Structure 1
Amino acid sequence: MTIFLSTAVLSGILPTASSMDDAQNNSKIAPAPIDQLTSNLTQAKSQLPIKPQLKVDILVPILYNNGTNVEPEKYGLMFEELVKQFGAISVEDNNVINGYWINPTDNKNYSDKNKMYWIIVPDTEENRHYFVNFQDKLESLFDQESILIYFTPVLNLLS
């Protein structure tokens, strides 16, 4: 905000304090320009069609804990369920995400190779609960101690 105001004053868009004092003494300026600018920005922001959404990132393993490959059909099942539930899904197929974690329950070390699926959904309590249940489902499907699913808030201007 400070940079904007400084730029506006230096460029002549907004008057300086001394020119405002001169103008007030001469009764040449009516309303305060900053108050009007603030009002305009607030009004414009409230009229934007912004809907709170969540980006849901799901890391699924490429390998089981014993080192064997996960069957491609399992990715297909997950993909189909998310498309059926939300009408969309994105996957980063060619990127391998290497992970390492320690299970806090038994201190067992895990080294993972994963791929990422992600989807943007409305930020509703129903959708949050869906993914809590979906995580349990994926842990069973992929025979994993844990599947990482996390949310990132998204403000999307598209309706």
Structure 2
Amino acid sequence: MSRQLRRFEVLLPLRLNDGTPVPDAAVADTLIELEERFGAVSCETQTIRGRWRAEGQTYRDDLIRVFVDVDDDPEHREFFVAFKDVLKARFQQLDIWLTTYLIEVL
């Protein structure tokens, strides 16, 4: 029997926009907060490298992927919409890339 869930996926920066390393506690606090809220969290520690532009300036990112698989419930979406603002402040970012999509667990 398969089960349909929704995955929320966040790319967390390893450096602040000014290039200084993100404190380890910021990542740890994020993982703990998600695990306490949803009962599980996963994280890929390989570095994802990105480049993006904002207001004429180019930024380079070193990122990790964090994801949570949960029931497709509007309450979960509302949490992540609000959590994005928390993460932007915690990681001192102009934006945080947060995506969501349906998954089927076999």
How does the TM-score come out when normalised to structure 1? Answer: 0.63
Q: CA RMSD in A?
A: 1.3
Give yes or no for contact 1:51–1:122 (8 Å, CA) kept in 2: no
Unaligned runs of 5+ in 1: 1-47
Computing the radius of gyration over CA atoms, which structure comes out larger, 1 or 2? Answer: 1
**2:40 equivalent to 1:88:** yes
Higher relative contact order (CA 8 A, sep 6+): 2
Q: Distance in 2 between matches of 1:124 and 1:108?
A: 37
How does the TM-score come out when normalised to structure 2? Answer: 0.92
Q: Distance in 2 between matches of 1:122 and 1:128?
A: 10
Q: CA deviation at 1:59?
A: 0.4
Instruction: Point out the structure with the larger strand share.
Output: 2
Who is 1:61 aligned against? 13
Q: Distance in 2 between matches of 1:133 and 1:108?
A: 27
What letter matches 2:79 in structure 1? Y
Instruction: Point out the structure with the larger helix share.
Output: 1
Structure 1 segments of 4 or more deviating over 3 A? none
Give yes or no for contact 1:55–1:154 (8 Å, CA) kept in 2: yes
Q: Distance in 1 between matches of 2:57 and 2:80?
A: 25
Q: CA deviation at 1:89?
A: 0.6
Unaligned runs of 5+ in 2: none
